[in-house]
Amino acid sequence: MSSGRISLLRILLTTAVGLVLTIVPLPQVLNLGRPDWVLLLIIYWSLNAPMVAGLTYAWICGLIVDVLVGSLIGQHALAFVLVAALAHRFQLRMRIFPVVQQAVGVLVLVALYHFLVFWIDGIIGNTVTSWLRWLPALVGAVLWPVLVAVLDTTNRRLQ
């Protein structure tokens, strides 16, 4: 197998795990802070494998999440593509930052994603105005260093 094919296989496997973590049932208290696993993976792969995990990857992941969570078709796809485009745009800058500073950038990207979903929900009449709507962005930023450590270690071992 070529290294590009192995990278694609890793990306697909991690995305499948992210999709499972997105729909696994959790108690209500934990569900409020559930991080956006697929979005975090899109950001990670946009930073580390931008030629393999591009905007099409983000769009397909968004459509799958739309179907899995039962939201308006295209809602998550649009938000994922916009976040992935920004991650691609600032990829070289973000990769040189220490992981803690990357987490701040990830917080901004995930908050933008939640704002876009919030905006689309407002247009279609499903508004949730509680501050708890923004909790997954904070949880995702806190989990970013752990996610990077696990995926970087796995990638190094598999190469």
pTM above 0.75, yes or no: yes
pLDDT in tens, 94-110: 989 999 999 999 999 99
Instruction: With a cut of 90, say whether residue 39 has pLDDT above it.
Output: yes
Contacts 24+ apart (CB under 8 A), 3-10: 3/159, 4/52, 6/158, 7/49, 7/52, 8/52, 10/154, 10/155, 10/158
**Considering the chain, what percentage of its residues have pLDDT values greater than 90?**
71
- What is the rounded average pLDDT for all residues in the chain? 91
pLDDT of 140 strictly over 50: yes
CA–CA dist 109, 3 (Å, integer): 29
* Structure confidence by residue, pLDDT tens digits, 84-95: 999 999 999 998
> What is the mean predicted confidence (pLDDT) over 49-63?
93
